[in-house]
Amino acid sequence: MPAPGRRLHAAGATATIGVGVGLPSTQCPECTVSTLPPTSLHPLDAPQHPGGRTPLTPPNPVALRLGYLGLLPFVLGALLSLLVREEAHPYVVLALAGYAAVIISFLGGIHWGLGMRASVPSPTPFAWAVVPSLLAWVAVVMPAYAGLVIDGLLLIVCYLVDRRSYPAHGLSAWLTLRFRLTVVATLSCFVAAARI
């Protein structure tokens, strides 16, 4: 939370937050507005420069571990789709399609959060945020051979949208992780779909 009496700027707008004792400020090298020290804010709470750029936010080590652990259901689902008997196969691919839908919804939800943080509201991030969830829901109720392909394609589309939007929010450093996770998750969906 910004300290009282601090001036923050975002997309060209300047605001003073309350009055009282505050933290020492630093001068932004690109403008004349004071900012809080970077350690006093959550990385996503860093003030934006008038040009809309934000400081680069590196991936959190916990998020890295959880992201890679989140691949286990994809890989396990793809492997099981190749190994289980015919009568268990529909349950395995349904579980994989359901998990893929949850992850795709999560990826869309990130854009809802980014839209909520915008100083100038735009309908674009909110509209995009619901599209992956709706399409993933449709993919879950489709036959698995088609639904898993749609899930794989949605994972690719979500990555491409993130690749365009993350830099504007200072999240470029997360794109390497997003790429790796997308490749493994997408291949898992396609492998399971090919087995059907």
DSSP state at residue 142:
S
More confident residue, 36 or 121: 121
Structure token digits, residue 178 = 């997003």
pLDDT digits (tens, 9 = 90+) for 83-116: 999 999 999 999 999 999 999 999 999 999 999 9
The model's pTM: 0.72
Given a cut of 90, whether residue 132 has pLDDT beyond it is yes
Mean pLDDT over 8-29 rounds to 42
pLDDT confidence of residue 34: 40
pLDDT range class, residue 55, cuts 50, 70, 90: low
Q: Shortest CA distance to 186 belongs to which of 154, 164, 138, 160?
A: 154
% of the chain surpassing 90 pLDDT: 65
Structure token digits, residue 20 = 């009282």
pLDDT confidence of residue 33: 42
